[in-house]
Structure 1
Amino acid sequence: MIAFLKGNFTLLTPTFVHIDVQGVGYEVFISLNTYGEIQGKTQGLLYTHLQVREDAHLLYGFATPAEKDMFLQLLGVNGVGASTARMMLSSLKPEEISRAIIQGNAKQLESVKGIGKKSAERIILELRDKFTKQSLDLNNSVSIGNTAETDALNALLALGIARPAAEIALRKSMQLHPGSDKVEEIIKSALKNL
């Protein structure tokens, strides 16, 4: 998997960019939101998703991790392909899509070219609970004060530990070892508190 590309933009259009990464040129398909972020720049970083199809390997690039995450969430919806997801991200910002889904605003999703009433309702049906839960998790999450704690939380989540359990374990760990700045120690302590 190619997580991101960092290099020189040799060709920049509203739909794709050519990026030179140490002598290797990649063609990366982008949304209009990403184009707006990188327009006028000669170099930069794009978060990427590689889609492998029978007839092609296609790279999609995003200016922010939030846009990439929304793209992947949309791809998970039955009947939504990469072109549709990219069209949605060209018309609406990730937070606008998320808000429309949580509020059940099918009309806003239908305003995107290629999204009909049934598609909009399917997107809302399949993603609403997930987005509502993520929104609640963000509102109720641990107030992480430093990068070591943030890294420790991300590591616990990557290990497959549910966010609420990971946050509780982190709180206990930080009470036992206040001011600890070594990620490894924080993770070990948190794992003992699970």
Structure 2
Amino acid sequence: MYAYLEGRITEQNPACVTVDCGGVGYEVNISLHTYTKIKDKERARLWIYQAVREDALTLFGFADKTEKELFLQLISVSGVGANTARVILSTLSPETTVKAILDGDAKRIQSVKGIGLKTAQRLIVDLRDKVGKIGIEATGDGPFLPALSEERQEAVAALVTLGFAKAAVEKIVDALLAKAPDMKTEDIIKQSLRML
């Protein structure tokens, strides 16, 4: 099991980075929260979770250890897998996620694509006593994503990487851009996640 990878970032988009560690490139899935912290860096240290499935070994990376700890708490809940946890951390900030769980705000948790009422309630019941111990301050009244000047292609690529159909993604992204042409990449992704 890996604790962290530290190296040169050779490729990146809001959903995935490639980290060169000693001449080996590791493809690491990341949340938008992590992307905002490493997007302007040439080198980074990512705290790693390795998901092992019958057909794949997948790495998930986090800019800080507390986000990884929250991710581990999220995937400990029945019905929440690694990709769903990543979508949660891409839609809500870690601080907003913790606040929603502590406040019992199922509606806010349900705003995440793929999370229904039962899963939201299960997250609250299972994690309410645990998330306060992680060390993430429970704040946030809304989206955490800062504006970025990224292109439409990057938003589409990130959403397709998250597993959504390209045709559906392009339709939604184009509709969003028709309403707000100056919308930034992360805002496009956040709004699209709610609509997909």
Partner of 1:35: 35
Q: C-alpha root-mean-square deviation of aligned residues, in Å?
A: 1.7
Counting matched residue pairs gives 136
Partner of 1:2: 2
Q: Distance in 2 between matches of 1:85 and 1:131?
A: 14
Please identify which structure carries the higher helix content: 1
Q: Structure 1 residue 93: deviation in Å? A: 1.5
Q: Structure 1 residue 68: deviation in Å? A: 0.4
Partner SS state of residue 71, structure 1: helix
Q: Distance in 1 between matches of 2:25 and 2:109?
A: 35
Q: Structure 1 residue 135: deviation in Å? A: 7.6
Partner of 1:147: none
Q: TM-score, length-normalised on structure 2?
A: 0.66
Identity of aligned residues (%): 51
Partner of 2:100: 100
Partner SS state of residue 48, structure 1: strand
User: 1:14–1:110: structure 2 CA closer, same or farther, 3 Å change rule?
Assistant: same
Q: Which runs of 4+ in 1 moved over 4 A?
A: none
Q: Distance in 2 between matches of 1:8 and 1:129?
A: 38
Q: TM-score, length-normalised on structure 1?
A: 0.67
Q: Report the structure number with the largest CA radius of gyration.
A: 1
Partner of 2:182: none
Partner SS state of residue 78, structure 1: coil
Q: Distance in 2 between matches of 1:3 and 1:78?
A: 24
Q: Distance in 2 between matches of 1:135 and 1:81?
A: 19
Q: Distance in 2 between matches of 1:130 and 1:62?
A: 19
Please say if residues 69 and 134 of structure 2, whose CA atoms lie closer than 8 Å, have aligned partners that are also in contact.
no
